[in-house]
Structure 1
Amino acid sequence: MVGTAFAPPSAAHGPARPGGTGHEIRDPLVAARTAFFNGSGWTAHLPEPRHDRRLPDAQGELANLLEAEYGLRPRAVPPGEGPEVDRRDRAVAGLRRAARLGVPLTPEALLAHREGDPRLMAVLTELWPETVRWHGPRHAEEVLHAMLGESRDGPVAGHLLDLAVAAGLHPLTPVESASLARTTTHRAVRHSAWRYLRQLPGGPTYLPHPSQAADAYERLLLAPPVPAFGPERQGPAGRLVAQSMLLGGLDTPGEGMSGGLAVLLGGLGDRLAATDGISGVITVVTAGHEDLAADDRLAHDRAPRHWVLRLPVDAPSAPAQVEMHRHRPALTWWAVRLLRAMPRPLDVLHVRYADDGSLALADAAERLGAALVFTATPDPHRGLAERHAASDPADPTAADALRHDLHRVFLADRLVERADTVVGIPGRGGTRELVRHFPGLARLNEGRGPSAPPEGIAPYRPAPDEDDRRREALKRLYRDGTRPDALDPRDRGLPVLLCVGRLHPLKQQDLLVRSWLATGAHHTTTLVLIGGSPGTGTAVEDDIRRRIDTLLAPYPQAARRLALLPALPNTEVRRLQRALAQRTADACCWYVCPSAKEEFGIAVLEAMDAGLPVAGPRRGGVAHYLRDQVNGLLMDTSGQAGLMRGLRRVAATSADDRRRYAAAGRKLVGERFSVTRMADELAAEYTALHTG
């Protein structure tokens, strides 16, 4: 399905509106996209560029890549021949332009790129359905058959079979595909062939017996279970909604890639399932080999009318965002197969990340006849040009990071284009910033842009023995200063700086420790960090821990005043926050969020709800609700100097101001950021959609 409200520009568009690019736009990515989607165009390489078509403040590799991808040329698909743009970059840029312009390439022209890198394959996959529609399934099938004959035992064969499955084509007979599955030396190709056989008439009989599978994942592929989940056909009336949480674990916030979104979707799903107009909620997650070994269920109840569906992935655990492209065809296949087995058809599927996993579920929604909802954010658009302005094109890591960000910008465009509706995250200026990065969204709601349902947190529910549990939480925290996860009991009277979140470079826990040491705050405060997998962590988590250990090595006293606790269940985190908030003024606790940015900041809201004064990043979504010196403090977290200034402001805040910030923050959360309000507004969005 295609959301026509988000159609890209075409050659038939009329003259550009005056000032479409506007030399006042300082961000080169925004300037390029504004000109492209308004149909006016710009170029960085004209001999005498017009002032309204110049690329502002861009040079080097970023300018060349933007020119290749967005610069309007006489031909529908630009050559992208700026300096330093190699053949691969030109191909990616040209295909992205074709996708945005709706140019249907022939199967031969499109599949000429079949041996491209993952970013090229992502664009090819997006263009393929339109190619089949325009040039006919029979011709597309013939081209696939010919190319499969040329690429029988390479990864390309798997990609071609995945394209066949996506379009319902049959380029190979059951005998041919079974032979390919049996003889290939590539595991991914074997899996693609098995999925392909499942869709062929008579194909399943050619699958090997599950006893021949190499491992548990292959046994699932050969004998897919049919878990019982979802509302009964005669159950409550209303929309059946699925929401995705493909990165990290739903029940393990703070571990690996799992963060505030896990907390948000868990509480939201529970509340949404009890909301009028909603018959049930399915939260879709991933489960790798280790996850399935610990719990082999593919679906289970989480709360009344709220189920968790686990899509198997051929990886040890939930794949990282940069690896999600490898799993896109399998995720689509599993989602369609499992969601279609429910007693009632799915009505709405809501995705929230601009990545290949979300596009996999968008494919599934289309095949299931479900409406697609996408939550768009200004990430990675916001600050992309600034992040990469000083990068060294000779540094392969920096070059790859730039291309990955541009890849995600394209994926977000595709999700906007394919969604039946798009919603935003609330910001200080409404959704104006979102429209700035997605000009096509300005057409929604009579020019007001997309709606932005409020985000919210579930109410904290104290245990019957809550007071005893809070005392025990503080006792564990102050049990032994020689332990890395505890503080010295003798420091119980010192103020506490608390920070909760997954261990990740964007969260900048190491920068917080460096700034804490540099300001001398370790002489007068303790620092408590909560986050990271218990036991063996991910490579990213281990790197952050090593950085912190290195910083603490010259400061043995500071090491006793810093506790790095592994991620705790959300209830335990919120209980500890309340225990710390109850302490005396001299032993006060601040919640400090040092993140480079937060799209919203669920952990910040939870700290405010607990009655803690909060200091958070000026950049990103936190500034939407945290007002400096009104209900907290805003800090410049772009570097050590800014964070040090923020910590000094925290230290200089009077007890009266701390109490005022805490009271105002708690009042704000209670009035504006409840999960009930969020569920009600999303339910209204879902019920307004045309489904089926």
Structure 2
Amino acid sequence: MGIQTAMDRITESASIVEAIRAGDDLAFEAGRDPGVRTLRVLSAAISGDDDLAAIAAVHALAEMNDEEAARLLSSLLSSPRPYIVEHAAHALGRRPARPEAVGRLVRLVAEGGLGGMLAQHTLEKWSTGAAELLAVALESACTGTLPDEARARLVETMGLVRHPLAVRSLRTWATDTSGPASVRHAAVAALGQRRQPAAISALEGIVIEGGVLGDLARLALIDAEPASTARGGGEGLTVAQLFLHADVDSTLSAAGAGDNGGIATLLVRLGDALVAETSAVERVLTLSRGTAAQAAPDLLEVSGGGTGHVYGHIPLDAPPVSSASAWPLRVSVRRGIRRLLRAAGRVDVLHLRMADVGSLAAADVARELGIPTVFTVAPDPHSVLSALERAGTLTRKDFGQADLAEHYWFRTHLVQSLAASAAHSVFFPRPELEGDMQALLGIDMSSHPERHTVVAEGVDLAVVDRAVERARLVADGAEPTGALAELAGLLDALPEERRGLPLLVTVGRMHRVKGTATLVRVWAEGPLADAANLLVVGGDLEHPSADEREQLDLIRAVIPPAQHATRGLLLPGHRSNDDAAEWLAAARFGVPGRCAADGVYVCASLKEEFGLAILEAMATGLLVVAPDSGGPATYVDDGESGFLTQTGDPVALAAAIGRALERAATGDDGAAARGRALVADRFTIQAMAAKLAPVYESVANSEAELQRAAEELV
């Protein structure tokens, strides 16, 4: 189409998402015609005021086989616009090593963040052809005055350089007992990727020191051992699944804290159902974050050859960070995933679900170990971008600053990459699924339909039914116990005049995308506060993450903490999935003398790909308010089982909640029965497992056929 036409498609695009997708065509045209005029068009875009066009032009420069383009791209590492620097660091990874850029990339690594990760990734690629240059540059940088964490990032990067100088430096840093702990940790972990006698002997000495460093050295020695593919057990499949940003355990004790949202609950329930309810899967390995002390015992269990649902932890001893801030953990996450998958022996399929650092690292390991992947494709951040653009809070001219914080460009392309490399793609139901996938992600679901499967998520009805039974007994006069007693205590803090009101309830992560603070404001600043109390279940109130702190600050600006109870706001923090289910049921049946029956569940998310908590609420018999796009629109019968609305519009959200409260007050038990029947018929965790097991089996069989064909050629 020509470079100017490709650029016009970006500048004239109807939406931000469309402009990002058009960037691929611009890069293609730049690579096809790397001439003087192409360079002029790209240079003009980079110096212009359209952030999207500027970012697209940076990436297009990397596709030009032209020395002047390479020099310009390298010079952008000194741009006064930080988002241009970040994208230049990323784009340079697609070009041969540029000596003049090494120093600036090293400085970016030291600074951390996504830009540091991208710079590190570029240096890792360059290390195959410029190892000595990089080793010298990194060693020199480490001799300067740097914060400990910055030096640790440089030491970690040195671990990616395959050169004798690197081993010598790593050994020195690892054994320096006077050195900062973070630097020693990075050096010890990096030595595990080397099998030289000097590295092994250093690690053996450090094990004796004990503590966290000793634990890391023990893990590094395991990393240095040759991989074993032996595995006992039967002939069923082993499926690995991953969510890095959660403390996943079989009891779901951390549900709702930090990033421990519905996905953490889903993985536990799904893993159990796959091994209990299907004949194809005999073992599920669920990977999540943990500590170095947890990692070694996990390896013993994972490598034991048993069956069932087992858990493996990737050691990340720093305080938990949000997914948006976790990109610098790429190398340590990749190392932890590789260690667990190697210990597991044969892993037939790795299921990835998020466009985050965990999936980025896991995809690398899967390629290295030859494990086929299944990827659950969701238009995230595409849906968020569309919602923000509709609300007028994000435009193409301020996209660069927003991208610097949320990494929209990188994440959209990561979704594209993960989907393209997957052996099979899984999709959530959506009202216009095929059209949305084509428009938002450029995926043609009619092409190779055998590689695409639509799978609805599911809930554990047994948990919901137990919760309903307990709440019904309390409503009939029984004394509350357990979680219901705790809820009763919270309700006792309300003033007498508010105890006859029903509950509005929301459950989930405390995050701006979930609309937590927006819901509180909509409820508190209008007539809804006179009609119902508000129970917000989620968030770590004692040790909030940055995202949680942001939402808490916004909530406190609306209602100061001292006024929460008097004004009807209950903010207890996160609770286990079982406890949250009992509270949902209590909102339906009421707690005598403390809250009225016929409450309403509200999901105020900007976007909800599916909505497990919404389904759990419907299964208890609650009417729901939910987003009018994405997954909820496929199962919420607007005006019957709930009300769909534009959750990004406070006026529309308030109106929908008001209608739901009016409808709930009629006490329609038929609607409650229909909600449970819908979930039982279509959205159980057992149904989800039954749909996924044939997908895993098909992928494993196809991979076995490919392996046999390759062996026949040898």
**Which TM-score applies when normalising by structure 2?**
0.77
1:220 aligns with 2:210: no
- AA paired with 1:337? R
1:237 aligned residue (224, 235, 238): 235
Is the CA contact (8 Å cut-off) linking 1:20 and 1:40 kept in structure 2? no
1:453 aligned residue (442, 455, 459): 455
> Which residue of structure 1 aligns with residue 96 of structure 2?
105
- AA paired with 2:530? H
Is the CA contact (8 Å cut-off) linking 2:10 and 2:52 kept in structure 1? no
Q: Which moved more, 1:451-460 or 1:33-42?
A: 33-42
Unaligned stretches of 5+ residues in structure 1: 1-12, 48-54
Name the CA distance, whole Å, in 1 between partners of 2:525 and 2:166. Answer: 68
> Which residue of structure 1 aligns with residue 685 of structure 2?
675
1:633 aligns with 2:627: no
> Which residue of structure 1 aligns with residue 263 of structure 2?
261
Change (3 A) 1:176 1:577: closer
> Which residue of structure 1 aligns with residue 51 of structure 2?
61
- AA paired with 1:434? M
> Which residue of structure 2 aligns with residue 569 of structure 1?
576
Name the CA distance, whole Å, in 1 between partners of 2:555 and 2:6. Answer: 53
Is the CA contact (8 Å cut-off) linking 2:641 and 2:675 kept in structure 1? yes
Is the CA contact (8 Å cut-off) linking 2:244 and 2:288 kept in structure 1? yes
Name the CA distance, whole Å, in 1 between partners of 2:57 and 2:672. Answer: 49
Is the CA contact (8 Å cut-off) linking 2:3 and 2:29 kept in structure 1? no
Q: CA deviation at 1:331?
A: 1.7
Is the CA contact (8 Å cut-off) linking 1:231 and 1:305 kept in structure 2? no
Change (3 A) 1:146 1:565: closer
Change (3 A) 1:272 1:671: same
1:428 aligns with 2:426: no
- AA paired with 2:241? Q
Name the CA distance, whole Å, in 2 between partners of 1:186 and 1:241. Answer: 39
Structure that is richer in helix per residue = 2
Name the CA distance, whole Å, in 2 between partners of 1:557 and 1:541. Answer: 17
Deviations 1:364-401 (A, max 9, x none): 22333322232222111234266376569999995464
Is the CA contact (8 Å cut-off) linking 2:79 and 2:85 kept in structure 1? no
Is the CA contact (8 Å cut-off) linking 2:120 and 2:157 kept in structure 1? yes
- AA paired with 2:346? P
1:366 aligns with 2:367: yes
Q: Which moved more, 1:188-197 or 1:374-383?
A: 188-197
Name the CA distance, whole Å, in 1 between partners of 2:243 and 2:89. Answer: 29
Name the CA distance, whole Å, in 1 between partners of 2:301 and 2:496. Answer: 42
Is the CA contact (8 Å cut-off) linking 2:159 and 2:191 kept in structure 1? no
Is the CA contact (8 Å cut-off) linking 1:636 and 1:646 kept in structure 2? no
Is the CA contact (8 Å cut-off) linking 1:144 and 1:160 kept in structure 2? no
> Which residue of structure 2 aligns with residue 6 of structure 1?
none
> What do you get for the CA RMSD once the two structures are aligned?
4.6
Name the CA distance, whole Å, in 2 between partners of 1:598 and 1:272. Answer: 25
> Which residue of structure 1 aligns with residue 534 of structure 2?
527
Name the SS of the counterpart of 2:444 in structure 1: helix
Name the CA distance, whole Å, in 2 between partners of 1:401 and 1:479. Answer: 44
Change (3 A) 1:24 1:425: farther
Name the CA distance, whole Å, in 2 between partners of 1:142 and 1:72. Answer: 24
Is the CA contact (8 Å cut-off) linking 1:141 and 1:164 kept in structure 2? no
Change (3 A) 1:144 1:545: closer
Q: CA deviation at 1:564?
A: 2.0
Deviations 1:6-59 (A, max 9, x none): xxxxxxx999999995999511331341462597769xxx99xxxxxxx9xx96
Change (3 A) 1:75 1:235: same
Change (3 A) 1:444 1:328: farther
> Which residue of structure 2 aligns with residue 271 of structure 1?
273
Q: CA deviation at 1:309?
A: 0.6
Amino-acid identity (%): 26
Q: CA deviation at 1:615?
A: 0.9
- AA paired with 1:115? R
Deviations 1:293-312 (A, max 9, x none): 9x995469899600111111
1:612 aligns with 2:605: no
Alignment of 1:274-353 (within 5 A): 274=276, 275-288=278-291, 298=298, 305-316=308-319, 318-342=320-344, 344-353=345-354
> Which residue of structure 1 aligns with residue 184 of structure 2?
190
Name the CA distance, whole Å, in 2 between partners of 1:131 and 1:85. Answer: 22
Deviations 1:526-548 (A, max 9, x none): 22221222644445434534443
Unaligned stretches of 5+ residues in structure 2: 31-35, 38-44, 708-714
- AA paired with 1:670? A
Name the SS of the counterpart of 1:262 in structure 2: helix
Is the CA contact (8 Å cut-off) linking 1:32 and 1:66 kept in structure 2? yes
> Which residue of structure 1 aligns with residue 201 of structure 2?
205
Change (3 A) 1:555 1:182: closer
Name the CA distance, whole Å, in 2 between partners of 1:412 and 1:188. Answer: 32
Q: CA deviation at 1:181?
A: 3.0
- AA paired with 1:360? A
2:511 aligned residue (504, 508, 522): 504
> Which residue of structure 2 aligns with residue 114 of structure 1?
106
Name the CA distance, whole Å, in 2 between partners of 1:17 and 1:61. Answer: 18
Is the CA contact (8 Å cut-off) linking 1:164 and 1:170 kept in structure 2? no
Is the CA contact (8 Å cut-off) linking 1:158 and 1:189 kept in structure 2? yes
Name the CA distance, whole Å, in 2 between partners of 1:321 and 1:518. Answer: 32
Is the CA contact (8 Å cut-off) linking 1:259 and 1:501 kept in structure 2? yes
- AA paired with 1:339? L
Name the CA distance, whole Å, in 1 between partners of 2:203 and 2:529. Answer: 63
Is the CA contact (8 Å cut-off) linking 1:430 and 1:452 kept in structure 2? no
Is the CA contact (8 Å cut-off) linking 2:135 and 2:166 kept in structure 1? no
Name the CA distance, whole Å, in 2 between partners of 1:197 and 1:554. Answer: 50
Is the CA contact (8 Å cut-off) linking 1:374 and 1:416 kept in structure 2? yes
Is the CA contact (8 Å cut-off) linking 2:52 and 2:396 kept in structure 1? no
Is the CA contact (8 Å cut-off) linking 2:327 and 2:357 kept in structure 1? yes
Name the CA distance, whole Å, in 1 between partners of 2:164 and 2:85. Answer: 26
Name the SS of the counterpart of 1:114 in structure 2: helix
Deviations 1:222-244 (A, max 9, x none): 122979xx999331212211111
Alignment of 1:385-424 (within 5 A): 387=388, 390=393, 398-399=401-402, 401=404, 404-424=407-427
Alignment of 1:554-565 (within 5 A): 559=566, 561-565=568-572
Name the SS of the counterpart of 1:615 in structure 2: strand
Name the CA distance, whole Å, in 2 between partners of 1:72 and 1:145. Answer: 24
> Which residue of structure 2 aligns with residue 151 of structure 1?
141
- AA paired with 1:505? R
Change (3 A) 1:481 1:149: closer
Q: CA deviation at 1:264?
A: 0.9
Q: CA deviation at 1:595?
A: 1.9
Is the CA contact (8 Å cut-off) linking 1:580 and 1:588 kept in structure 2? yes
Is the CA contact (8 Å cut-off) linking 2:7 and 2:53 kept in structure 1? no
> Which residue of structure 2 aligns with residue 249 of structure 1?
247
Name the CA distance, whole Å, in 2 between partners of 1:331 and 1:18. Answer: 37
Q: Which moved more, 1:539-548 or 1:25-34?
A: 539-548
1:171 aligns with 2:164: yes
Give aligned pairs, total.
649
Is the CA contact (8 Å cut-off) linking 2:6 and 2:25 kept in structure 1? no
Is the CA contact (8 Å cut-off) linking 2:49 and 2:397 kept in structure 1? no
Q: Which moved more, 1:250-259 or 1:196-205?
A: 196-205
Name the CA distance, whole Å, in 2 between partners of 1:89 and 1:454. Answer: 37
Name the CA distance, whole Å, in 2 between partners of 1:156 and 1:648. Answer: 52
Name the CA distance, whole Å, in 1 between partners of 2:408 and 2:643. Answer: 30
Name the CA distance, whole Å, in 2 between partners of 1:88 and 1:474. Answer: 51
Alignment of 1:1-16 (within 5 A): none
Q: CA deviation at 1:260?
A: 0.8
- AA paired with 1:423? V
Is the CA contact (8 Å cut-off) linking 1:157 and 1:189 kept in structure 2? yes
Name the CA distance, whole Å, in 2 between partners of 1:38 and 1:393. Answer: 17
Is the CA contact (8 Å cut-off) linking 1:431 and 1:452 kept in structure 2? no
Is the CA contact (8 Å cut-off) linking 1:480 and 1:488 kept in structure 2? no
- AA paired with 1:516? W
Change (3 A) 1:38 1:430: farther
Change (3 A) 1:330 1:71: closer
Name the CA distance, whole Å, in 2 between partners of 1:283 and 1:378. Answer: 24
Change (3 A) 1:653 1:591: same
